[in-house]
Amino acid sequence: MSLNIHYQEDFKDRHIAPKAEDRDAMLAVLGVSSVEELIEQTVPQKIRLKQPLNLPKAKSEKDYLTTLKQTASLNKVFKSYIGQGYYDTITPGVILRNVMENPGWYTQYTPYQAEIAQGRLQALLNFQTAVIDLTGMEIANASLLDEGTAAAEAMFMQYSLRKNQSAKKFFVSRLLFPQTVDILKTRANPFGIELVIGDHLTFGLHDEFFGAIVQYPAGNGEVYDYTAFAQQAHEKNVKVTVVADLLSLTLLTPPGEWGADIVVGTSQRFGIPMGFGGPHAAFFATKDEYKRSIPGRIIGVTIDSNNNYALRMALQTREQHIRRDKATSNICTAQALLAIMAGFYAAYHGPKGLKLIAERTHGLTITLAESLKNAGYNVLNKAYFDTIQLDLHDLVDSIKRECIDNEINLHYNGSIVTIALDETTSFEDVKLLTKIFSKVKAIAANAAEVFEGNIVTVIPESLQRTSEYLTHPVFNTHHSEHEMLRYIKSLESKDLSLCHSMIALGSCTMKLNATTEMIPVTWPEFGKIHPFAPADQVSGYYTVFNELDKWLSEITGFAAMSLQPNAGAQGEYTGLMVIRAYHQDRGDHHRNIALIPSSAHGTNPASAAMAGMKIVVVKSLENGNIDVEDLNAKAELHAENLSCLMVTYPSTHGVFEESIIDICTIIHENGGQVYMDGANMNAQVGLTSPAAIGADVCHLNLHKTFCIPHGGGGPGMGPIGVAKHLVQYLPGHAVVDINNKKSIHAVSSAPWGSASILIISHAYIALMGGEGLTDATRYAILNANYMKARLEAYYPVLYSGANGRCAHEMILDCRAFKSYGIEVVDIAKRLMDYGFHAPTVSFPVAGTLMVEPTESEPKHELDRFCDALIAIRNEITEVETGALDKVDNPLKNAPHTASIVTGDEWSHSYSRKTAAFPLPYVAAYKFWPAVGRVNDSFGDRSLICACPPIESYSESETFA
Ligand SMILES: *Cc1c(COP(=O)(O)O)cnc(C)c1O
């Protein structure tokens, strides 16, 4: 026996599931002899890349983690007092391990299929309830992308609701964090909104203003009483947005009690690592009367088909798909996982625990302030919570040097230093700071003593909170670790995730999120870094960004990337703003028409509207392709004002359109730019590229193609790649200098968006290498075409390419079943009884299912899923023939819960076995839907978006 001592495990073989035998069996079904032959039939020759991807050789998992650990060690984990919206925090171990690091929580999709998503819907409802209570508002959504974009959404909501159409001015307190102001500038620009930056104490609002925004506590740490300001604003019909700090609201009078119309902010310090900027969940709370204008999604209470308590996304579910350019926002991916964690943090600590944390932080801040005063410093604040400012005059450099020697970061702005304390600050830390400051003044040793007098709050009585919060049992029950662990697990068990079965959501690319890719995210060298830490402390992050930028540029064929947009739709918005800046720079201020095909994802028109563009819809042909004649006519008609085309490639119909190069040429000839929506990049990597088809800009959904898990509705990242002529316009940042010559203002609060999860995509590319990535694309296409071959005899497949092949996804037409009463949702719900999450329902064509298997599913799993769909098709035939009742059948009654199936009574015309165990494999591993069919309209009629009093559902078996 000879032994191979050079054997290396290949990560590629872990990520791409089908093995050689599976591949050959699938190829035989397709009647082709090799994968390459299939690819030749699928991807048009003229857009194929001529060269293999030029990426570093694939690393093993072990080698990657070893190398990355070295890179990570280049980041210096200093004690951060920088503040500015980012605070160190303690992620409770039970939440870190069982939520943040747990695929049972991070691999789900957005909870559109409510019956198998009750766990995270409840966790998100808890988050909304905590936000409503702490802000003192009436309604809250289930997270936005970050504090700055939440502020921009608030400004825009005020703008949309303005009564006086000529009011174009928006008051911005000069004490907002600079990154928030920067994002307001970006968003205000296309609408001609004029930001007036001023002092709320002296400024007089008038008729030309539609809104105002202030910060509480303010950017300088001061806690102002805004009551008079809000009153003045309301007298002038001006609405007031407040950017608030959640932790401080345990001690401060909530904005809802002194006149705020909207309250936004970040929930980062509720146990979410700083992560060099994200991901973190922003919150948005407002009054009930504005509920139909709220951006993002709202979780609401309703009932299921058995009249039990159930949850689902309320009102504007998929609202950008329906309202398109009239949508309230372009939010698709938000920050669900982080909102879930923040909600659990609130439940774990409860009102008393949170208050103790806030009191300690506040008390230590006062201790520090008094100690520094004793040491001869002038503290500028009178009323503050956790942040103080000092004017150091010529001592700045000495303080800075001394702090760096002690591995401490403060926030410096000229001679003004800001010190923000947080949950992790201890008395010892305050002692050290006092020692440093005293040393610099070189004062007598006894004056360096830490103030140990009676600590009394410096918050004026009128601003001290008296109202209760977090009174619901959910925040007063799970305070021991066992209770919390079991609560987390009880919710997790209600959610179907990639831990159970494939989630074949077309356009969403639910592929493997490998553990090795996830592990570094929670390393302290990445997690405990403040986004505004000095550049020389973050070379580890810079190394990751530089490599990722280079690799993604190679993959897209573009000159450079911006890693700032923190969702795909934010990438769209950013790309369009870059295109806008390009036209304006050339004097083409009038170019504002965006051509968008009718089949586009709803975020495309929603983002175009945000960028101030007018949308002209391009027709599709019978076969799903873009109607090139119509496109040509519209491009010529609008040549004068054409800004761009937004096009998804391969198309949302799952086809590589042959005419794409001609399409891009037509746009360019008429003076426009081509924006490619990169959501379907999983069908391109290594075979073709956005640059090869002729696009100028594209976003990549790193949470689709590049393995960031979907987190149950976020986080994600949507970096954009641009051709050379657009590089100089890529977004800048107000605090960290990443600006190019002509950068647009920021689109995210942090310079590199949700920086810490960029590591996941970095890991994926490094582990796969160029050939591995290209194989992933090939196998994604193979898997899809195999499923198509198995399913097309049962469900008509809409649209395919010139040779009858689909790309990486396909659309199953379910519209014909309508004539015997079966809707596409019945199939979606019935799939739950078979243990599956439905594919994408009714996008891009109403009444259809869009199936995308990805390369990470083995043939065995594809077969199980096909078997389920075929069995359901047979059930439909039985309804058609009358063998099953038209109304009382397993499709209409799906999904079937355990309590229904095992109940004393069974009155249906089919058996319990048919209901719950329709195929043999189901019995071996049954996933029980937590509730029956959810009633959408019941909940919308009387909207409840906070945890209802326990009595109201104590009858319910599911949430008793
Ligand atoms: C997912 C998707 C988007 C939106 O991306 P998010 O990251 O969810 O904001 C846009 N277009 C298409 C075609 C998509 O599939």
- Tokens for 400, please give them: 């800075």
Residue 56 preceded by cis peptide, ω within 30: no
Q: Whose CA is nearest to atom 5 of ligand 1?
A: 568
- 714: closest CA among 765, 753, 766? 753
Query: Distance from the CA of 704 to the center of ligand 1, in angstroms?
Result: 9
Q: Give the model's pLDDT for residue 959.
A: 42
Q: Give the model's pLDDT for residue 624.
A: 87
Which pLDDT band, with edges at 50, 70 and 90, does 958 fall under? very low
Q: Residues 310, 311, 314, CA angle at the centre, nearest 5°?
A: 135
SS3 string, 265-286, reads EECCCCCCCCHHHCCCCEEEEE
> Region 185-193: what's the mean pLDDT?
97
Strand partners, 420: 387
Residues 321-351 have pLDDT tens digits of: 778 888 889 999 999 999 999 999 999 999 9
> Region 13-27: what's the mean pLDDT?
98
Which pLDDT band, with edges at 50, 70 and 90, does 623 fall under? confident
C-beta separation of 501 from 860 below 8 A: no
Is the pLDDT assigned to residue 885 strictly greater than 80? Answer: yes
CA pair distance 677, 337, nearest whole angstrom: 24
Please state which CATH number belongs to domain 521-528+537-553+561-767. 3.40.640.10
CA pair distance 768, 11, nearest whole angstrom: 7
Atom of ligand 1 nearest to the CA of 333: 8
Residues 796-822 have pLDDT tens digits of: 999 999 899 999 999 999 999 999 999
Atom of ligand 1 nearest to the CA of 677: 11
CA pair distance 74, 652, nearest whole angstrom: 42
Query: Distance from the CA of 256 to the center of ligand 1, in angstroms?
Result: 34
Is the pLDDT assigned to residue 827 strictly greater than 50? Answer: yes
Residue 146 CB coordination number (10 Å):
31
Of 110, 321, 333, 702, which is best to mutate to test ligand 1, by the most ligand atoms within 8 angstroms of its C-beta?
A: 333
Which pLDDT band, with edges at 50, 70 and 90, does 444 fall under? low
**Cα 867 to Cα 499, 828, 874, 875, distances in angstroms:** 20, 15, 10, 12
> Region 259-287: what's the mean pLDDT?
98
Range 938-950 burial, b when 16+ CB lie within 10 A, else e = bbeeebbbbbeee
Is the pLDDT assigned to residue 446 strictly greater than 70? Answer: no
Mean pLDDT over the full length of the chain: 96
Query: Distance from the CA of 39 to the center of ligand 1, in angstroms?
Result: 25
Is the pLDDT assigned to residue 52 strictly greater than 70? Answer: yes
- How many distinct helices (H) and strands (E) make up the chain? 30, 25
- Tokens for 351, please give them: 């009102």
Query: Distance from the CA of 654 to the center of ligand 1, in angstroms?
Result: 15
Which pLDDT band, with edges at 50, 70 and 90, does 960 fall under? very low
CA pair distance 495, 328, nearest whole angstrom: 28
CA pair distance 352, 468, nearest whole angstrom: 11
Q: Domain-by-domain residue ranges, the chain?
A: 521-528+537-553+561-767
Of 576, 701, 854, which is best to mutate to test ligand 1, by the most ligand atoms within 8 angstroms of its C-beta?
A: 701
Helix 758-791 vs helix 35-42: crossing angle, to nearest 10: 90
- Tokens for 488, please give them: 């987390």
Radius of gyration of the chain (CA): 28
Atom of ligand 1 nearest to the CA of 507: 15
Q: Give the model's pLDDT for residue 362.
A: 98
Residues 712-755 have pLDDT tens digits of: 999 999 999 999 999 999 999 999 999 999 999 999 999 999 99
Atom of ligand 1 nearest to the CA of 704: 1
Q: Residues 547, 713, 856, CA angle at the centre, nearest 5°?
A: 60
Atom of ligand 1 nearest to the CA of 648: 13
Query: Distance from the CA of 828 to the center of ligand 1, in angstroms?
Result: 21
Of 318, 321, 332, which is best to mutate to test ligand 1, by the most ligand atoms within 8 angstroms of its C-beta?
A: 332
Atom of ligand 1 nearest to the CA of 652: 13
Q: Give the model's pLDDT for residue 322.
A: 75
CA pair distance 807, 760, nearest whole angstrom: 25
Atom of ligand 1 nearest to the CA of 718: 7
CA pair distance 583, 591, nearest whole angstrom: 7
> Region 457-481: what's the mean pLDDT?
98
Query: Distance from the CA of 792 to the center of ligand 1, in angstroms?
Result: 27
C-beta separation of 408 from 347 below 8 A: no
CA pair distance 110, 124, nearest whole angstrom: 11
Q: Whose CA is nearest to atom 2 of ligand 1?
A: 679
Determine the 3-state secondary structure of 581 from DSSP.
helix
Q: Whose CA is nearest to atom 15 of ligand 1?
A: 507
Question: How much is the pTM?
Answer: 0.98
Atom of ligand 1 nearest to the CA of 716: 7
Atom of ligand 1 nearest to the CA of 600: 13
What does residue 658 show for φ and ψ, rounded to 5 degrees?
A: -65, -30
Query: Distance from the CA of 109 to the center of ligand 1, in angstroms?
Result: 13
Query: Distance from the CA of 752 to the center of ligand 1, in angstroms?
Result: 19
Query: Distance from the CA of 186 to the center of ligand 1, in angstroms?
Result: 21
- 427: closest CA among 383, 365, 356, 349? 365
Atom of ligand 1 nearest to the CA of 571: 9
CA pair distance 948, 301, nearest whole angstrom: 8
Query: Distance from the CA of 507 to the center of ligand 1, in angstroms?
Result: 7
Q: Give the model's pLDDT for residue 868.
A: 98
CA pair distance 736, 464, nearest whole angstrom: 35
Strand partners, 416: 391, 413
> Region 9-18: what's the mean pLDDT?
97
Q: Give the model's pLDDT for residue 448.
A: 66
CA pair distance 488, 106, nearest whole angstrom: 13
Q: Residues lining ligand 1, CB < 6 A?
A: 332-333, 507-508, 567-569, 601, 603, 648, 652, 677, 679, 701, 716, 718
Q: Give the model's pLDDT for residue 286.
A: 98
Query: Distance from the CA of 416 to the center of ligand 1, in angstroms?
Result: 43
Query: Distance from the CA of 703 to the center of ligand 1, in angstroms?
Result: 10
> Region 646-659: what's the mean pLDDT?
95
Query: Distance from the CA of 530 to the center of ligand 1, in angstroms?
Result: 29
Percentage with pLDDT > 90 across the chain: 94
C-beta separation of 665 from 692 below 8 A: no
Q: Among 160-169, 324-333, 905-914, where is mean pLDDT lowest?
A: 324-333
- Tokens for 548, please give them: 């990722």
Which pLDDT band, with edges at 50, 70 and 90, does 939 fall under? confident
Query: Distance from the CA of 568 to the center of ligand 1, in angstroms?
Result: 5
Q: Residues 665, 670, 675, CA angle at the centre, nearest 5°?
A: 60
Q: Give the model's pLDDT for residue 447.
A: 54
Query: Distance from the CA of 4 to the center of ligand 1, in angstroms?
Result: 46
Of 507, 511, 603, which is best to mutate to test ligand 1, by the most ligand atoms within 8 angstroms of its C-beta?
A: 603
Of 110, 507, 596, 676, which is best to mutate to test ligand 1, by the most ligand atoms within 8 angstroms of its C-beta?
A: 507
Is the pLDDT assigned to residue 369 strictly greater than 60? Answer: yes
- Tokens for 470, please give them: 């977090």
> Region 912-920: what's the mean pLDDT?
97
Q: Whose CA is nearest to atom 11 of ligand 1?
A: 601
**Cα 727 to Cα 55, 444, 702, distances in angstroms:** 22, 56, 20
Query: Distance from the CA of 460 to the center of ligand 1, in angstroms?
Result: 47
